[in-house]
Amino acid sequence: MLGKKLILLPFLIVFITTAITYAAVPVRIVLLPPIHRQNYNEPELNHFAFYKLKENLLKNNYDLALDIQVQNAVNKFTHGHPLEALPEKKILRGLSKELSSDLVFALEFTELNSMIISSLRNEEIEYKNVALTLAIYNAQDDSYVIYKVHKDEYSEFEGVNGIRRLVENCLDHINKKVSVYLKSIIAK
């Protein structure tokens, strides 16, 4: 009899764990398109940053608002103008209410620079500088958290590929911070 109970115990644990996982209310997140103050002419960096953040949230099974819903809500709050700077807490709070979300994420490219410098040996060296700021509004406790990441480097000329690599490094750092933050609010 004890042997049968021991055999059923692992199945019971798996069943209960699965039931708890699917019974938990998903966290609904609004992800705004990246904002850039720097007026750079590289729209693929915006797409890259947006989908890198989105991919991280989706792989962790968060419920994301549809892009078209987000765009319509942003247009309503900005009267059709694009966001030109990181939104204040009251704007993110309004978007959260409008879209019935728990969290609103806004990413801003605060710095994005690249310049070529000639070395003493007539080699071209590129200086790259990327800074990203992520604001998160949490409707649960009406909080507004900001994460900032800055990376710069000197290297051989790489053009947009070098900037993209630095942006990816920044986003990896931000995604780690976001994961810790999300785990902390879900544990509450």
10 part of a folded domain: no
Q: What is the mean pLDDT of the chain?
A: 84
Burial class (CB in 10 A: 0-12, 13-18, 19+), 150: middle
162 part of a folded domain: yes
| Tokens, residue 33 | 């398109």
Contacts 24+ apart (CB under 8 A), 124-128: 124/156, 124/157, 125/154, 125/155, 125/156, 125/157, 126/154, 126/155, 126/156, 126/157, 126/158, 126/162, 127/152, 127/153, 127/154, 128/152, 128/153, 128/154, 128/155, 128/158, 128/162, 128/163, 128/166
99 part of a folded domain: yes
4 part of a folded domain: no
3 part of a folded domain: no
Q: Which domain holds residue 80?
A: 26-187
Q: Which residue has the higher pLDDT, 37 or 110?
A: 110
8 part of a folded domain: no
Quote the number of domains for the chain: 1
5 part of a folded domain: no
Q: What is the CATH number of the domain that holds 85?
A: 3.40.50.10610
pLDDT band at 23 (very low <50, low <70, confident <90, very high): very low
pLDDT band at 19 (very low <50, low <70, confident <90, very high): very low
Can you give the pLDDT at residue 122? Answer: 78
2 part of a folded domain: no
**Using one digit for the tens of pLDDT, what is the confidence trace for 40-73?**
667 788 889 999 999 999 998 899 999 999 999 9
Phi then psi for residue 37, to 5 deg, are -85, -20
**Using one digit for the tens of pLDDT, what is the confidence trace for 130-182?**
999 999 999 999 999 999 999 999 888 887 888 899 999 999 999 999 999 99
